[in-house]
């Protein structure tokens, strides 16, 4: 188990960015194109302290609504959204 108190500030910043990208790509705003995460998030994480001021709830809800409107099309086979949010709401 790694201890984070031994990391340099640069290493800690890299770990924080990697964790934020993991949460975004796996749970909050997943992408069905085969990539783990959309490239737009990388530019937003250049300054991860400023990233904490962003409203991700609106983004997640907007993507969920967009994906649910697309899933009614018979040719749609996947949903790329935070389905945990939908389960909690239901």
Q: What is the pLDDT along the chain (90 residues), one digit of tens a residue?
A: 567 788 888 988 888 888 888 888 877 877 766 566 777 778 888 877 787 788 888 888 888 888 788 777 777 677 777 777 777 777
Tally of domains in the chain: 2
Q: Tell me: do 21 and 36 sit in the same domain.
A: yes
Please indicate, yes or no, if residue 58 is contained in any of the structural domains.
yes
Please indicate, yes or no, if residue 27 is contained in any of the structural domains.
yes
Q: Tell me: do 23 and 39 sit in the same domain.
A: yes
Give the pLDDT of residue 1: 55
Its domain, for residue 72, covers 54-89
pLDDT tens digits, one per residue of 17-42: 888 888 888 778 777 665 667 777 78
pTM above 0.75, yes or no: no
Give the pLDDT of residue 45: 80
* DSSP label of 53: T
Q: Tell me: do 71 and 85 sit in the same domain.
A: yes
Q: Tell me: do 59 and 40 sit in the same domain.
A: no
Q: Tell me: do 16 and 29 sit in the same domain.
A: yes
Please indicate, yes or no, if residue 2 is contained in any of the structural domains.
no
Give the pLDDT of residue 55: 82
Cα gap 38→25, rounded to integer Å = 8
């Amino acid at each position: 188990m790694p201890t984070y108190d031994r990391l340099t500030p640069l290493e800690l910043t890299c770990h924080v960015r990697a964790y934020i990208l993991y949460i975004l790509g796996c749970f909050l705003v997943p992408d069905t194109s085969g990539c783990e995460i959309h490239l737009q998030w990388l530019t937003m994480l250049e300054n991860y302290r400023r990233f904490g001021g962003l409203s991700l709830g609106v983004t997640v809800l907007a993507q969920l609504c967009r994906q649910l409107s697309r899933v009614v099309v018979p040719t749609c086979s996947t949903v790329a959204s935070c389905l945990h949010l939908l389960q909690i709401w239901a």
